[in-house]
Amino acid sequence: MKTKLHQWKFHSVVGPIYLVVSEKGLRGAFWKKQDIPYANDLSEHPLLKKTIEELSEYLEGKRKTFSIELDLQGSAFQKSVWSALLKIPYGETCTYSDIARKIKNVKAVRAVGAANGKNPISIIIPCHRVIGSNGKLTGYAGGLKVKEKLLTLEKELL
Beta bridge partners of 131: 95
Q: Which of 48, 85, 125, 127 is catalytic?
A: 127
Euclidean distance between CA atoms 71 and 67, whole angstroms: 13
Active site residue 94: no
Close Cβ partners of 152 (under 8 Å, ≥ 6 residues apart) = none
Q: Tell me 2's DSSP state.
A: P
Cross-strand bridge partners of residue 39: 5
Task: Just list the catalytic residues.
Answer: 127
